[in-house]
Structures are given as C-alpha cells and as structure tokens.
Structure 1
Amino acid sequence: MNKYIMNRYILFYAVLLAVVISSCQKLDLQPKGILGEPELFGNEFGVKKYFTGLYNYLPIEDFNYYGNNGPSGGDAFRPTNYWEAGKNSQGNMSGEFFNTWQTPNNSGFGYWPYNRIREVNLFIQNFPNYKSKFPINTYNALLGEASFLRAFFYFGLAKRYGGVPIIKEVQDPLGAKDSLAVSRNTEYDTWKFIYSDLKFAMDNMPANSERGRANKFVAAALMSRAMLYAGSVAKYTQYLGFQSEAATKAGLAGIDPSKASEFFQYAVDAGKFVETGPYSLYTKDYPDKATNFANLFLDITSTENIFIKDFDQTVPNDTRLRHSYDALMSPQPDMSSFVGAESYPPFDFMELYDMTAYTNSDGTPVRFNTRSDIKKDMEPRMRGTMYFDGDVLRGKTFSIQKGIYRSYNGLAADAQGGSNAAPINSGGNRILGGRGWTTTINGTLLNITGAHGNFDDQGGENNGWGSAYVRKYINPNMATSDVREYRSGQHWIVFRLGEIYLNTAEALYELDKRTEAFDYIEKLRVRAGAKVARPAIDQAMTNIGTINKANYSYQLEKSLQFIRDERERELYGENQWWWDLRRWRTADQVLNQFRPRVLSCYYVANEGKYIYLDETNRLNRTWTASRSVYYEPIPGGEIGKNSKLLPNNPLY
C-alpha cells in the first residue's frame, strides 16, 4: 500500500476516533491532537484507542440493533432513531415477541464490514514494526486481540452469506483493478478462517482483561457460538434442496455434511476451555430463583458474564451508548413515561416453561381465585423472564386482564381461540373494553381490562397483548419519570456461561454424547428451578417442532428437540432465536404463517372467579420466513464493483 495513502488513512481514522470516543485520559503526544501510526501502534494506550473504534463497530446485536433493514441514514447496528429499536428489534422481527410492526427480514440489509476488516488488517500488517516497544507477552496479546476482532467481523458475515472473500492483507487502493476484485472463498474455508483467528487469539491473549475488552475466554466463547453455527450449517443445509444452485455447487453456500462433526468438536473444545476460566452460573440471589434469574441480567459483577457491552445513562445523547429498552418494554403511565410497551411474550414461548395448569382434564377452564394464581406452579426462570399479574415494578402492581364473561359454561375450546363468532362470546356474554372502561353487572362496578390489560380500542402500542410483559433486562430501580427514550444504561451481555453450557450440550448431543450433553442441561435446569432437573433421554425420532408445530424437512431425536427448546427457555429475548432457526434450517417452517397465540385472562362474574384461555392474537398477525432466509444476497452494490462475488446465494 502507498505509504502516503496509508498514513493519511490512519490520520483520518484517528480524528474519527477523537470525535466518536470520549476518554478521561489525555495523550501527551507531539504534535498534540494528531495521531499518526507511531502514536497509535507504538504504545499500548494508542493501540487501545485504535481498538476502541473497532469494538464500537463489532456486530453485537444489542438493545439498539434493528432486526429488519437498517433505517435511512444508518444501518441495523448503528441506526439513526435508535429509540425505535424497541419496535424494530430482532425479537419482534422473528416472532419471539408479539408486536404490530415487524415481520421476518428475508433478505438482510447489506452488512459488509470490509472497511473495519481493513482497519484490523492494517494493524496486523504494520504492528510488527513496533515490536521492540512492547514486552513480548503484551505484543502477542495485542495481535491476538486483533485476530479476535477480525474473527467477530467475519462471523457477522459468514452467518449471513456463507462463503465470503477472506482478506488477510491490506489492499492497495491505487493498485490494478483486478487486484482489488477478490473472489468469495468457500463457506467451509470461511468458517475455518474464523476458527484459526480465534485459535490464535485464545493462544496469545491473557486470561483477564478490563470490562468490555476481550481476553482468551471471550475468544473461546465466540468460538463456541461460531463453531456450533458452522456445524449446524454442515449438517442441515443438505435438507434445503439447494444442491442445484450455482453457489451451492461452488461450495459458497453450504458445507459437506461430513464436516459437521469437525465443527461440533471445535464447539465442545471451546466450551470446555471457557469452563477453565473464572466463571460460574449466577446464584447470588438464592433461594429466590426467580429474582436470581432476573438479576443475572442486571448485575454487572455477575460471575456468569464472560463479555459485556457497556451502556451509560450519563454519556451525551447520539453516542448510542444509551438505549430505550425500559421505556419500550414497560406500560405507560404507571411504569414508563414514554410511549409504553411495544413488545410482549407470545403464549407459544410461555408454554415452553413449567406452568400452572389452566385447563382441567375434562377440557374446562381451571377456576382461579385471583389472576395472580397462574404463577403458583410456574417455573422460577419464567417468572424471572416475564412479569405477570400481581408483580410489582417501580412501585406499581401489574393488573392484567382481557375482559369479563357474565358466565362461562363449557369447555375452553368453546371460546374458539377468542373468535367473536363463538357462541359463548356472543350476545353480550363476553365483555371487552378499552383502557379504564368499566361495566356494571348485578349492581357491581367492574373494571373490564385492568390497568395493564388488553385494550380492545387500541393497537399495539402500550397495549397488554396476553398475560405477560418482558422482565429480562428491565431495570426496576429507575424512577418512572426517568423511563423515557435514551435514558437506560444497563449493559448488554454478549457472552455468558449459560449460553456456553447450551452450546456445549447441543454440540455433544450432535456428536452422540447424549449423557454428557444432559449433564450441562441439568446444571441450567437446577438453577432455573425447573420441576424436572434431568429429563430422561428420548431417542424416538420426530420432525415436528415445538413452536407452531413446525414440520421440519428432517427428523431428529426428541431429546435433541428438548435441548433446542431449553435454549429458548434460557435465552429468550437475548437475540439468539432468529439465528438458531437459521442454523437449524427450520425458519421457513417454524415461521410459516406463524400466528402468535396469547394467554388471556377473564373474570367470570357469576362465579367471582378467573379463567385463562389460549387465544389467537386479536389482529390475526402472521410471521412468515421464506426459504431464501438462510443465505442473504451478496449486496448488489458490491457485485457492481466486483463481479467475482458471483454466483449469488441460492434463490437470488
């Protein structure tokens, strides 16, 4: 690369860092205010400044990440109106949350971070010129950290596109045009490149690091996640019917199934390496396992945290180091001073957990003395993940109801999923209402919906769809007046030990090590307070998934489906669900006219009791993912600059 161009590039990048990143420390450099390569690469603090900019652009899907196409003026990782991430979240896009705005993103948003990869390569290429200025351990550690950063960017690419160009050296922008047009590597080679970068990082980085910065165990955690993804791609892509596609024939979209065990073993090895680190499942708030699970996501000192992304309520606005999660997950005005809740747990996901029976063996609805009785036999992990009637947040008590029945004589099925056409719901027997609406029955004034119920006169914003609100990541210690846009500062957990246990368990099971796999599942279920800590291994085959009763294109053992379900019980709302569906190659079946269901509570007036009914969402909204979702198209603008990126991915 031309030296003048290179130095100008570094100077521009340094100025950008100065604008984006604030620091309490002052560099005593000459000339002041200008950072060239010697100032950045020649001392540890300069390298830290350089890396900080790269960390800021890592593909971490956090509170501010848009699950759909990036908005105008920004991208999905760095959106402009990022308070709207609540309604555009990956949970909403993938049907994990019920909302009234988003549906699956079937074609991606053109993620192509080769400008950031170039910055990493620039460091890896030129840092050896400054080797004499560092102790050898520090020098190796910084090179390892650079490899981790590059692997993270490539992971963001590989899980979207499969095989992509592997660029290890800085390209000369003044060189021959053909030298800049690089072909895609195979998907196998792309995942192996990620493996080699992470292995180098694990071998050279220290065991400890400051918060928000990687170490060898963070690299191993990324290895665990990435290699599990690669193993799944190798095993299950064969069932998509893409064999005749040009990209598949070229090895760009798909991996030979014989390579699956190689990647699953890498995932197991990485997971076991993480276990040698200073991490343990969070149990600080035992014996209250519900509170314990909720606080796991709020305690920045948690022993389970491997790598977190810091946010801060005190930083200037528009730095994207604040977020709006509380304001968009809590009902207004009692618990939020902004627009109110935008996302709600569908019953399809709630019923994955241990729950109190709401239907008797004869098919009639169970009668409850209070709405809150639904929590009696509920799994503590579920209560730590969601708020229910009777729970308290910011000094207010949740009051969640959909309506009133004058009487309910019949089976739960007679309600026909909440249909207005059902005889039991007609003739004024079922009473629905809006916020604050009341009715009088036999001389008694009754609130129809409760303060946080399902309001029949309102849409998706600040409307209690179902019987639960999201609790995971909610900060209960904020004053309601502060619960507004850009006012939240709780950290995002990028990697935690619970996920690593799940990754290891799934990879072990895929390697036919079933008993050892359930050793990890048992640890999580004991912490969760589940009724059965260690389910019996069931090797019967099924192709029916749990959510939406999806009809998979392949069969798997029922115990493997249980492990997949355990991932969702543990990781609900952590932006893992969408990628799990994609790597399992089940998204187009699970999200095939998926109509989220809601669990609705009614007061039965003539009995003075409450019942819960399984209903279709009132708007009859559906989520549908196409078969093209497994590989996003190579961005058209990039193909326009480099035709060697063709053939494009399947179905594009």
Structure 2
Amino acid sequence: MKKRLYIYGALAVLLSTTSCEKFLTREPENEIGSINFLTKESDLALYANGFIQRHMPDEETLAWGDQYSDITATRASTAFLIGDTWNADQQGGWSGGSSGTWSKLRNVNYFLQNLPKAKGNVSDEVYRHYEGVGRFWRAYFYFDMVKTFGDVPWYDQALEVDDYTQLYKGRDSREFVMEKVLEDLNYAAENCSADAKYVKTSTMIHKWVALAFKARVCLFEGTYRKYHTELGLQSSAATFLREAVKAAEELMTSGPYSLVNNASNVATQYRSLFNSENLNEQEVILGVRFMKDVRMHSITWKLFSASYGNNWSLSQDFVNHYLKLDGSRFTDDPNYATKTYQDNFVNRDYRLKQTVVAPDYERKISGNLKKDAPNFALTSTGYQLIKWAIDDDIHVGIANSYNSVPMFRYAEVLLNYAEAKAELGEMGVTEWNRSIRLLRERAGVNGAAPSTYDPYLASYYMNQTTDMWILEVRRERTVELVHENLRYDDLMRWKLGPLLAKPWKGIYFEQKNTPYDLNGDGVMDVAVVDVEPPASSKVPGVVYVVLGTGFRLTDGNSGNLEFGMHQNRYWHDKKYLRPVPSTAIQVNPNLLPQNQGWD
C-alpha cells in the first residue's frame, strides 16, 4: 500500500509524464475493438502492416542516421556530443502515451497475446508466420532499447492495469534481455514465410528479413561484449558472433539475393541502389518504397540546399579508406596526404564517385545536363554527399524526390558474415572470397585478399588491432555502408567513441588566397582566405571559405581544410549508453541504479 501511494503521489506531481499503466496497458489505437478481430488472415495482415508503419525508421533516419559520426561533417552537431552538459533530465526515449516508446512494445505484445484467436481459422504455416512477424518486431524494439540504455525491463505480455509488480519492476540485465531477443529472432527466422507474396516487394517482413536482422543484432552484441571489457561478458561474445555467422550463411546459401553486378555498369550500379524509384529486389531485402507523384520525400532537396539541410560532407579520412582499382592502398603512396581534390579520384574504387561529388560529376541544372563542382555553400569539406540524390535540380526547393530507401541489403549480410568470422579468428581466403571479394569486384577493384595489415587503418582505429582481416572488413564496411544508419552503432560496439570528437579534415589546398577550379570546367569554384574580399574584388562563382570562423588549414598557409573544432564535441565513456530519463525514474524508482557516470 505504501508503495502504491508513493507511485500515485509521484504521478500527481509529474503531470507531463504518462503513467506506467497507460503506456504498458493501453489498448492499441489500431485495434478494432471487436472480439472477432484478429481471427482471420486478413486481420493478421492488417495488424502486421501497422507494425511497418509504427516501427520502421523513416527515410530521413535511414539516410541521415550516420550524420553524427567520425566520417561525416555537419554544420551543427547534436547536443549529446557537445561538451559534457547532457544529463538525465534531457534524455528521451522512455515515453508513454499512445504514441510513446513503450506503446510500440505494448502494440506487439497485444498482437501476440491475441493471436490464438486465429487458431483453427488459418493454417499452421500462416499462424507461425505472423507469430514470427510479431516476435521480429519485439526483438527490433528491444535491440534498440538495449543499444540505447543497456539494462531495460523485459515484457512479453500486454500488462493489465492492476499488475503493479510488473508495471513497476526494475530493469532486467542486458544478458537476459539479449537472450530473449535472440530467442525471438530465432523463432522469426525459422517460422516467418519465404513465400514470394511476402518477399517480392522488399517491403514486408519475411524469413530473409529476420535472418538479415539476426546477423546484424548478433554481430553488434558479440563485438560489443568483446570490446567493452568493463561489462565482463567477453566469454559470451563468441556465442553471438557464431549466431551472426549462422544467420548470414543461411541467407548466403539458401536466400534468393545476390549483389547487383554488371561489369558494364560498374560506374553507376552501386548508386542505383539508392537513387532509383524501385527497390532493387535482387539485393534489397527490406526497404521503404516511394513513388513519383504518390509518395515522395525531401532528401535531394536537403543535400543541395544551403539552408534546409545540415551540409552533410564526408571527410578526407573517409576518402582515404578507398582502395585503388588495382587493389593497392591509396595511403601507401608517400604523397597521399598532399594529393589534390582531383588526384583523390584517379584510379579509385568506383564507389567513391558514386558517393561524393567527383570532378566529372554531372546533373541537370535548369533542364540541362552540366558539370557540377563541390559547392562550399553546401559542403564543409569539399567531399559533398550525393549517394542519396537524384541528379536533377528540379528536386531542390521542394519535397518531390521519389527514390526508394533500402534498410537491409545483401551487401550488409556479406559484411556481417566477414566481420563475425574475422572477430572469431576464423577468416581466411575462402571466407574472404565469398564475401569481401564480391563487394570489391562489384566496385571495379581487384578483390584479392590482403597479405599485410594496413598501418594507416590501424592508426585511424586507435591502434585497437593490427589484425589485417578485421581492419580490411572495417574498411569495406565504411565505404559500402556509408550513410545507411550504421556507422554510429559500429563505433559504439567497437568502443571507438573518441573518434566522434575529432575535427574533420577536408580536401587539400596547396595555398590560401588562391581560387581553385575543382572540376576543370574553366570556372573557379573556391578559395580559402583569411579575410573575405570586397564584392568588387571577388571572382565570379567563387565561394570564399574564411579561416578562423570554424575553419583552419592543417599546416597554416596550406594543408587540409579542417572543420568542426568550434563545435566543442566531447567524448566520455559514459556516452556509450544513454542515461535513463529522470521522468521515468521519478515514476518508477525501481529503474535505479542509473547507468554508470550519469548519476
């Protein structure tokens, strides 16, 4: 009784906080309110489609999820990374209400709890498929919560309003929750259907989606446990890594997917996966579909707007990851650090010019196809992102882009397989040839296995390892999956958070106060100056980058253009997990202790 009075008193004070009862017991909004609902296959399909709408990330999350990372410069950073001021009062992600965080879980558990109504009315195969779909989304919810908060309460039932023991329980351990996540994913992978009616459009949950997600989850958890030794879970890391290999191998040997790869399209086929209206069903396992004049978005607009987007720009360190076409390392050239913008693209992996503006980049401007150089009104480094753009300025200034957005690709499955094998110490030429080699050769690069480790990569990744297989998989993952909402998670699981606080290096300038023509079209594009010249002295078309206003040259009067020092990004190891929000703890003190460092 005392506990109950305490809780109700806290709720009376916290008027802005929705109670545990409401966000764990409220009937789902899309529940039809009939005892006959969820009794036939069409009901199950309708409810499952609602999961897609509520749980899947939107197109901007998928395209911009990497924006706060080590390789992407942005005009402004997130408050979480700025200084050491973030605290539990600012943290979200634990909200109630009909559209809050926990309502998504309640929605899934309600579906699973009421699924037996359909028994006898649908086939066993259909029943198991939809149970697998529900358990997939429960695993999806909890994986996100564990990544964010670590220990969280596990619920596998839609709770009743008077079940105070469960409503106000404490957090379950990471180990317990992730074992439950693995159980759900194993069930989904074994029971979700592989029928073409689910697989064909790349927009529904099916067996292959479950396997792809399982490989991602298990790779994350296995490497997180390996590198985060403070958890004391290293002994169980291999278990998750082997599950990642198992899931990926099943997809690789039995699944219907392969890399889009036509030697005649080597300069365009990679990017076609990201700027085409249709999801390429050969490689895309799950994605968000858009359609011209029906459902559209603003990604291209934001990439080419000086005010609307965040000036997403890739770094020189990112560009240095790309190999030469003959398979040799760009950074083995003794002069690599002083190569010009144009020289960075000579004989390089074809994915580079399909990811950022290259010297030969063209797009339609006012209806005419023209060469277009990096615009320093839109980029902070000179490596201007185009991976998600449609090359026509008709999509700038209005939200009418219609390119569909992949969420799971077969390429990631190959990378997850290779990394898990490398982390287990089981990577060799055979494993290399069935994974990384395929990705490199699709990009026009000699795919032969490495013979030595890359000292540049070892240094970049803070000398955490000199294992050549691990380093080469990280190289491949960096260039293949850039801006696909995975880089931040990669840094978290590798325990490389300090990379988030480093300044970004851009293109190399031989000298300041000199205009440069970046794409060889005879028009000067940019000059780095100490003071912006008066209008009468400006060269037409030139964007003047003024040093000392967030920019500097690494060598003073020359060097790489460096950006981001003024943002005061700061890393502390407590940031590997977010704090449990203060509002949640005030409602339920059993959520304590707070995550380490956030007291």
TM-score w.r.t. length of structure 1: 0.71
Pairing 1:47-66 to 2, within 5 Å after superposition: 47-58=44-55, 60=57, 62-65=58-61
Pairing 1:461-610 to 2, within 5 Å after superposition: 462-476=377-391, 479-515=392-428, 516-519=430-433, 520-531=435-446, 533-536=448-451, 538=453, 549-551=460-462, 554-588=464-498, 590-592=499-501, 594-600=502-508
Cα drift, residue 483 of structure 1: 2.7
- The answer to whether the Cα contact below 8 Å between 2:313 and 2:383 also exists between their aligned partners in 1 is yes
Cα drift, residue 487 of structure 1: 2.1
The one of 90, 96, 103 aligned to 1:115: 103
The structure-2 alpha-carbon separation of the partners of 1:170 and 1:266, relative to structure 1 and needing over 3 Å to count, comes to same
Report the secondary structure of 2:287's partner residue.
Answer: strand
Aligned-partner residue type, residue 256 of structure 1: L
Is 2:307 aligned against 1:328? no
Pairing 1:386-401 to 2, within 5 Å after superposition: 386-394=356-364, 395-400=368-373
Distance 2:423 2:74 in 1: 34
The structure-2 alpha-carbon separation of the partners of 1:279 and 1:377, relative to structure 1 and needing over 3 Å to count, comes to same
Show CA shifts across 1:540-566 (max 9, x none).
9x8x8558x3535x5452431221122
Show CA shifts across 1:68-97 (max 9, x none).
xxxxxxxxxxxxxxxxxx8xx433322432
Q: Bigger shift: 517-526 or 153-162? A: 517-526
Report the secondary structure of 1:307's partner residue.
Answer: strand
Report the secondary structure of 1:505's partner residue.
Answer: helix
Task: Supply the RMSD in Å over aligned alpha carbons.
Answer: 3.4
Cα drift, residue 606 of structure 1: 11
Is 2:586 aligned against 1:640? yes
Cα drift, residue 359 of structure 1: 12
The structure-2 alpha-carbon separation of the partners of 1:585 and 1:223, relative to structure 1 and needing over 3 Å to count, comes to same
The one of 278, 281, 286 aligned to 2:256: 278
Q: Specify the alignment match of 1:148 in structure 2.
A: 136
Distance 1:37 1:223 in 2: 35
Report the secondary structure of 2:593's partner residue.
Answer: coil
Aligned-partner residue type, residue 551 of structure 1: M
- The answer to whether the Cα contact below 8 Å between 1:293 and 1:385 also exists between their aligned partners in 2 is no
The one of 214, 217, 220 aligned to 1:223: 214
Aligned-partner residue type, residue 645 of structure 1: L
Aligned-partner residue type, residue 356 of structure 2: M
Cα drift, residue 305 of structure 1: 0.7
Cα drift, residue 38 of structure 1: 4.2
Aligned-partner residue type, residue 124 of structure 1: L
- The answer to whether the Cα contact below 8 Å between 2:221 and 2:237 also exists between their aligned partners in 1 is yes
Name stretches of at least 5 consecutive residues in structure 2 with no aligned partner. 1-21, 95-100, 521-525, 527-557
The structure-2 alpha-carbon separation of the partners of 1:465 and 1:604, relative to structure 1 and needing over 3 Å to count, comes to closer
The structure-2 alpha-carbon separation of the partners of 1:323 and 1:366, relative to structure 1 and needing over 3 Å to count, comes to closer
- The answer to whether the Cα contact below 8 Å between 1:233 and 1:255 also exists between their aligned partners in 2 is no
Distance 1:279 1:199 in 2: 20
- The answer to whether the Cα contact below 8 Å between 1:312 and 1:489 also exists between their aligned partners in 2 is yes
The structure-2 alpha-carbon separation of the partners of 1:195 and 1:480, relative to structure 1 and needing over 3 Å to count, comes to same
Q: Specify the alignment match of 1:18 in structure 2.
A: none
Aligned-partner residue type, residue 616 of structure 1: L
Q: Specify the alignment match of 2:75 in structure 1.
A: 100
Q: Specify the alignment match of 1:426 in structure 2.
A: none
- The answer to whether the Cα contact below 8 Å between 2:113 and 2:158 also exists between their aligned partners in 1 is yes
Q: Specify the alignment match of 2:573 in structure 1.
A: 627
The structure-2 alpha-carbon separation of the partners of 1:607 and 1:475, relative to structure 1 and needing over 3 Å to count, comes to closer
Distance 2:124 2:335 in 1: 73
The structure-2 alpha-carbon separation of the partners of 1:600 and 1:341, relative to structure 1 and needing over 3 Å to count, comes to farther
Q: Specify the alignment match of 1:311 in structure 2.
A: 290
- The answer to whether the Cα contact below 8 Å between 1:596 and 1:621 also exists between their aligned partners in 2 is no
Show CA shifts across 1:22-41 (max 9, x none).
xxxxxxxxxxxxx3344541
The structure-2 alpha-carbon separation of the partners of 1:345 and 1:12, relative to structure 1 and needing over 3 Å to count, comes to closer
Report the secondary structure of 1:563's partner residue.
Answer: helix
Show CA shifts across 1:590-614 (max 9, x none).
224x110011467999999989974
Distance 2:359 2:237 in 1: 45
Show CA shifts across 1:221-240 (max 9, x none).
110000011101211111xx
The structure-2 alpha-carbon separation of the partners of 1:595 and 1:292, relative to structure 1 and needing over 3 Å to count, comes to same
- The answer to whether the Cα contact below 8 Å between 2:286 and 2:406 also exists between their aligned partners in 1 is yes
Distance 2:242 2:107 in 1: 31
Pairing 1:284-363 to 2, within 5 Å after superposition: 284=262, 286-297=263-274, 298=276, 299-315=278-294, 322-330=296-304, 339=308, 342-354=311-323
The one of 560, 570, 589 aligned to 1:615: 560
- The answer to whether the Cα contact below 8 Å between 1:281 and 1:303 also exists between their aligned partners in 2 is yes
Report the secondary structure of 1:617's partner residue.
Answer: strand
Is 2:371 aligned against 1:380? no
Aligned-partner residue type, residue 570 of structure 1: E
Aligned-partner residue type, residue 370 of structure 2: T
Show CA shifts across 1:298-348 (max 9, x none).
351341111112234545xxxxx643110111267xxxxx85772111112
The structure-2 alpha-carbon separation of the partners of 1:361 and 1:205, relative to structure 1 and needing over 3 Å to count, comes to closer
Aligned-partner residue type, residue 631 of structure 1: L
Distance 2:26 2:128 in 1: 25
The structure-2 alpha-carbon separation of the partners of 1:573 and 1:607, relative to structure 1 and needing over 3 Å to count, comes to closer
More RCO (CA 8 Å, sep 6+) = 2
Distance 2:471 2:122 in 1: 50
Aligned-partner residue type, residue 50 of structure 1: Y
Cα drift, residue 52 of structure 1: 2.2
The one of 265, 268, 274 aligned to 2:242: 265
Aligned-partner residue type, residue 615 of structure 1: N
The structure-2 alpha-carbon separation of the partners of 1:604 and 1:104, relative to structure 1 and needing over 3 Å to count, comes to closer
The structure-2 alpha-carbon separation of the partners of 1:188 and 1:608, relative to structure 1 and needing over 3 Å to count, comes to closer
Name stretches of at least 5 consecutive residues in structure 1 with no aligned partner. 15-34, 67-85, 243-253, 316-320, 333-337, 401-451, 455-461
TM-score w.r.t. length of structure 2: 0.77
Distance 2:39 2:305 in 1: 52
The structure-2 alpha-carbon separation of the partners of 1:388 and 1:155, relative to structure 1 and needing over 3 Å to count, comes to same
The structure-2 alpha-carbon separation of the partners of 1:221 and 1:121, relative to structure 1 and needing over 3 Å to count, comes to same
Distance 2:331 2:128 in 1: 59
The structure-2 alpha-carbon separation of the partners of 1:302 and 1:393, relative to structure 1 and needing over 3 Å to count, comes to farther
Distance 2:332 2:176 in 1: 52
* Number of equivalenced pairs: 509
Distance 1:642 1:301 in 2: 46
Off by >6 Å, runs of 4+ in structure 1:
356-360, 602-613
Q: Specify the alignment match of 2:538 in structure 1.
A: none
The structure-2 alpha-carbon separation of the partners of 1:373 and 1:190, relative to structure 1 and needing over 3 Å to count, comes to same
- The answer to whether the Cα contact below 8 Å between 2:390 and 2:403 also exists between their aligned partners in 1 is yes
